[in-house]
Amino acid sequence: MKLTIEKHHLVSALDYVARVVERRSTIPILSNLLLSACPGKLEVRATDLDLEVSSEVTADVSEPGKVTVNADTFEKLVKKLPDGCLVSLDEKIGLEKDGLTLKAGRSRVKLLTLDAMDFPSLAAGEFKCGMNMPAHMLAGLFDRVGFAVSTEETRYYLCGIYLHLFKIGG
């Protein structure tokens, strides 16, 4: 991934997206932002597994790609750059891949990254089945099992309700 973007465009995307990021998460990838560069734009995405937020901004992309970078570090660093400057982001591909290099003016910083393939996506996709039910009945179902939902972040796999649909009769 290699791109150049104006600082104010990047800051506006970060202000919008970074609010969702878990600061002290037990899952390291949730502390990161996913930066996806494709021709003409940069998409910045963050999730806490309950909510996913993304923002697209215009950028001069010379090499498309995806990378994740620590949200807190990246946001603080970008905001400290001088106003009106151009920010260059470059992730080397291949054997030289050792992080994301940020350049702006005389500043040059190398940031650690995590694999973009590990970043969770909350895209719903298509469901094979559906249902129609009054809202009060669905709320009643959730009330009956809601006590069993874990509030402990360390056991994130127990923080939800499994809803299984099946057909009754013929």
Q: How confident is the model at residue 57 (pLDDT cuts 50, 70, 90)?
A: very high
Q: How confident is the model at residue 148 (pLDDT cuts 50, 70, 90)?
A: confident
DSSP 47-110: E-SS-EEEEEEE-EEEE-EEEEEEHHHHHHHHHHSPTT-EEEEEE--STT---EEEEETTEEEE
Q: What average pLDDT does this structure show over 25-54?
A: 91
Q: How confident is the model at residue 125 (pLDDT cuts 50, 70, 90)?
A: low
- Residue 121's pLDDT is 84
102-116 residue pLDDT tens: 999 888 999 999 989
CA distance linking residue 44 with residue 34, whole number of Å: 6
Q: What average pLDDT does this structure show over 22-36?
A: 87
pLDDT for 95 beyond 60:
no
